[in-house]
Amino acid sequence: MDLLSLGIKAVFIDNMIFAYFLGMCSFLAVSKKVTTAIGLGMAVVFVLTITVPINWLLQEFILREGALVWLNAGFSEINLEFLQFIMFIAIIAGMVQLVEMVVEKVSPALYGSLGIFLPLIAVNCSILGGSLFMVQRDYTIAEASVFGFGSGLGFALAIIALSAIREKLKYSNVPDGLKGLGLTMLITGLMGIAFKSFIGIAI
């Protein structure tokens, strides 16, 4: 039950976009059409679900202070946490590459729709952010997996909703300076207010 509430919290309340601004760049750049937004959303869910647990293992068995004890009892004072950023980003870039190859082999149709977005995801803030939050909040591996999946789902939900609104907005007449980015920011703010209403939910 705790896991379920953590998942719901990650999707709606601690939403990557509306609460932490993570992944804003692709959120703004790839939200012009619903179909591409769905593609990117799926890819983010996929990669976050894989990388957060893997980085959890990395943190728990290699990077943390005293984590290397399983190799040799004499390593109990070694603290490799300063390597955290490099290791995490290497895992993420590597996993993205791996996922790309596997998807290309197993499902060419999915690869066709995700194709261009997969490399983009390596530098999506929400992926690295998911791993860093997981460390900050001391999750267990089950919690980390649920958190990764939930955060990805929250991102997908936000970007699909925004792209649907932007498709409709094409037909409206807005002031010149506000076209594009300016208006998108204001809409994101309004959507954020709507998402705030989930705060009271407790399961």
Partner 1 sequence: MSTETLEKTEEVAVAKKPAEALLSKRRKAFITDPLNEDNPITVQVLGICSALAVTVKIVPTLIMSIAVVFVIVIAYHNISVIRNLIPNRVRIIVQLAVIATLVTLVSEVLKAYNYEMYKVLGAFVGLIITNCIVMGRLEAFAMGNKPYDSILDGIGSGFGYAWIILAVSFFRELFGSGSVFDFKVFEAIGIANFPTNGLMVDSIGAFVVLGVLIWVQRAKTGYVEHN
Query: Which residues are near partner 1 by CB under 8 A?
Result: 18-25, 28-29, 32, 82-86, 88-90, 93, 119, 122-129, 132-133, 136, 170, 175-186, 188-189, 192-193, 196
Tell the smallest beta-carbon distance from residue 29 to partner 1 (Å): 6
Rounded to the nearest whole angstrom, what is the least distance from the CB of residue 123 to partner 1 in the complex?
5
CB of 138 to partner 1, least distance (A): 13
Sign of CA dihedral 79, 85, 86, 89: positive
Contacts of range 97-103, beta carbons closer than 8 Å, 24 or more positions apart: 99/46, 99/47, 99/50
Nearer Cβ to partner 1 (24/164):
24
CB hemisphere CA count around 110 (13 angstroms) = 14
Nearer to partner 1, 32 or 64 (CB): 32
For residues 41 and 169, give the distance between their C-alpha atoms in angstroms, rounded to a whole number: 21
CB of 109 to partner 1, least distance (A): 25
With respect to partner 1, which residue has the nearer C-beta, 64 or 196?
A: 196
One-letter amino acid at 152 equals: G
CA atoms within 13 A on the CB side of 44: 34
Radius of gyration in angstroms for the set of CA atoms belonging to the chain, rounded to a whole number: 19
Q: How far is the CB of 72 from partner 1 (least distance, A)?
A: 25
C-beta closer to partner 1: residue 88 or 117? 88
Closer CB to partner 1, 2 or 81, in the complex: 81
Characterize 66-100 residue by residue with b for buried, 16 or more Cβ atoms within 10 angstroms of its Cβ, and e for exposed.
ebbeeeeeeeeebebeeebeebbbebbbebbeebb
CB of 141 to partner 1, least distance (A): 19
Q: Which is nearer to partner 1, 83 or 203 (CB)?
A: 83
